[in-house]
């Protein structure tokens, strides 16, 4: 392929990289092309490197580590014109929400085995989560494992930037928020998005119950429509959502959501390490229209962090996940063998 054609294709990528990233990506493609002329077997690894080092795919690769990202699991439980006094009052109150804090849990388990928690890199994927929402500044989600901050995701609305931090590894991802990603965050993670979801879809009433000491009315729903932006952003090979069901509890006196429980069935895909998994999330609502410091939504990379790369991902991926990539034709089997052989040589001949 001509160099002019390559430059044109790079410019058409649906990302907005910085000048340094653009130059590095273009250089790597041209180098890969030159290598391919001399040794055709090297083409696929070079192409894989280009794909994985792009901003779009690195967003997906980050999800391999987090296995959740910003799936808020706030979903529909009402329909307009249904005559429900509860939902009508909720609609009015939610429309006035500008900021809120949610707390809860996020757990990945195997289908039919709710007590068997999925493990990654020696850690059980069971997170205590805190979420900060602001219609002005954006969304932040923090996930804690065994009391330690494991990931922090910041979606900054004014800057149109997303920053993902992994404190355990001192790694980060930062990229311009694409239209599909922004749409997903608006639908799943903002008060206005919640309002839209409240007014869509079918539900059934569960009656009344005490939720955290609050008299509440429950609604059950089952739908994957709210995840349409995620499906638009990520192909099934990367993230395959099968089904979604959940419960929403509304305080009778407060006329506001008290708790949301969601269960998301995920088929074998890149983000699930090629396992069938269930994501169970519980969000408890407590703080509405409170003062949130603008600095919470800061997207500056902390000192001492380095950018997450393909090598970081492959080194942490189990053999089964790598085999899945080979099976999809995404990752050449020779590349996995080459990396394993390289590590063995490095161990046998330390510098």
**Interval 277-297 mean pLDDT:** 88
Per-residue pLDDT band for 181 (boundaries 50, 70, 90) equals low
CA distance 82 to 309: 50
Residue 104 has what pLDDT? 92
Residue 84 has what pLDDT? 40
Computed over every residue of the chain, the mean pLDDT equals 68
Please state the φ and ψ torsions of residue 320, each to the nearest 5 degrees.
-60, -40
Domains and CATH numbers, the chain: 3-60+306-335 (no CATH), 70-297 (2.50.20.20)
Answer whether residue 279 shows pLDDT above 70.
yes
Q: Name which residue leads in pLDDT, 266 or 258.
A: 258
Q: Name which residue leads in pLDDT, 329 or 116.
A: 116
Per-residue pLDDT band for 305 (boundaries 50, 70, 90) equals very high
Per-residue pLDDT band for 61 (boundaries 50, 70, 90) equals very low
Q: Name which residue leads in pLDDT, 179 or 128.
A: 128
CA distance 197 to 285: 16
Residue 176 has what pLDDT? 80
Per-residue pLDDT band for 197 (boundaries 50, 70, 90) equals low
Answer whether residue 142 shows pLDDT above 80.
yes
Structure confidence by residue, pLDDT tens digits, 224-249: 555 565 556 566 666 567 677 778 88
Q: Name which residue leads in pLDDT, 247 or 178.
A: 247
Residues with Cβ < 8 Å from 123, sequence gap 6 or more?
Answer: 145, 146, 150
The CA R_g of the chain, rounded to the nearest whole Å, is: 22
Structure confidence by residue, pLDDT tens digits, 83-115: 343 576 777 777 788 888 989 999 888 888 888
Per-residue pLDDT band for 152 (boundaries 50, 70, 90) equals very high
pTM score: 0.65
CA distance 194 to 217: 18
Lowest mean per-residue pLDDT among 119-128, 218-227, 252-261, 312-321: 312-321
Residue 266 has what pLDDT? 78
Residue 321 has what pLDDT? 53
CA distance 317 to 111: 21
**Interval 264-272 mean pLDDT:** 70
Lowest mean per-residue pLDDT among 4-13, 61-70, 251-260, 331-340: 61-70
CA distance 271 to 268: 8
Residue 287 has what pLDDT? 83
Q: Do 287 and 100 contact (CB within 8 A), yes or no?
A: yes
Q: Do 180 and 195 contact (CB within 8 A), yes or no?
A: no
How does 19-29 read in b/e, with b if 16+ C-beta sit within 10 Å? eebbeebbeeb
Q: Are strands 277-288 and 171-176 parallel, antiparallel or unpaired?
A: unpaired
Answer whether residue 57 shows pLDDT above 60.
no
Per-residue pLDDT band for 292 (boundaries 50, 70, 90) equals very high
Lowest mean per-residue pLDDT among 119-123, 163-167, 289-293: 119-123
Residue 272 has what pLDDT? 61
3-state secondary structure 247-267: EEEEECCCCCEEEEEEEEEEE
Residue 224 has what pLDDT? 52
**Interval 285-291 mean pLDDT:** 85
Residue 42 has what pLDDT? 44
Answer whether residue 27 shows pLDDT above 90.
no
Residue 312 has what pLDDT? 67
């Amino acid at each position: 392929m001509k160099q002019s054609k390559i430059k044109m294709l790079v410019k058409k990528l649906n990302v907005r990289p910085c000048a340094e990233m653009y130059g590095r990506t273009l250089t790597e493609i041209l180098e890969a092309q030159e290598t391919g002329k001399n040794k055709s077997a090297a083409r696929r690894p070079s192409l894989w490197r280009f794909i994985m080092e792009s901003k779009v795919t690195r967003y997906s690769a980050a999800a391999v580590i987090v296995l959740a990202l910003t799936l808020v699991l706030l979903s529909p439980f009402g329909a307009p014109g249904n005559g429900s006094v509860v939902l009508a009052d909720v609609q009015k109150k939610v429309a006035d929400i500008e900021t809120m804090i949610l707390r809860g849990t996020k757990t990945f388990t195997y289908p039919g085995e709710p007590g068997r928690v999925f493990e990654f890199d020696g850690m059980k994927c069971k997170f205590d989560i805190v979420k900060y929402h602001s219609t002005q500044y954006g969304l932040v989600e923090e996930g804690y494992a065994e009391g330690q901050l494991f990931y922090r995701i910041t979606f900054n609305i004014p800057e149109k930037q997303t920053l993902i931090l992994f404190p355990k590894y001192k790694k980060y991802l930062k990229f311009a928020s694409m239209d599909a990603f922004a749409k997903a965050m608006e639908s799943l993670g903002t008060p206005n998005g919640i309002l839209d979801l409240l007014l869509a879809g079918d539900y059934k009433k569960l009656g009344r119950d005490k939720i955290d000491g609050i008299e509440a009315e429950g609604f059950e729903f089952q739908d994957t429509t709210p995840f349409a932006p995620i499906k638009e952003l990520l192909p099934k090979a990367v993230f395959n959502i099968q089904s979604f069901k959940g419960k929403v509890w509304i305080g009778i006196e407060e006329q506001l959501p008290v708790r949301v429980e969601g269960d998301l069935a995920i088929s074998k895909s890149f983000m699930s390490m090629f396992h069938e998994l269930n994501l169970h999330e519980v969000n408890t609502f407590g703080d509405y229209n409170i003062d949130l410091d603008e600095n919470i939504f800061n997207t500056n990379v902390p000192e001492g962090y380095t950018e997450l790369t393909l090598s970081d991902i492959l080194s942490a991926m189990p053999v089964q996940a790598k085999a899945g990539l080979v099976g999809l034709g995404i990752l050449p089997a020779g590349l996995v063998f080459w990396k394993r052989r390289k590590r063995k040589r490095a161990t046998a001949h330390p510098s």
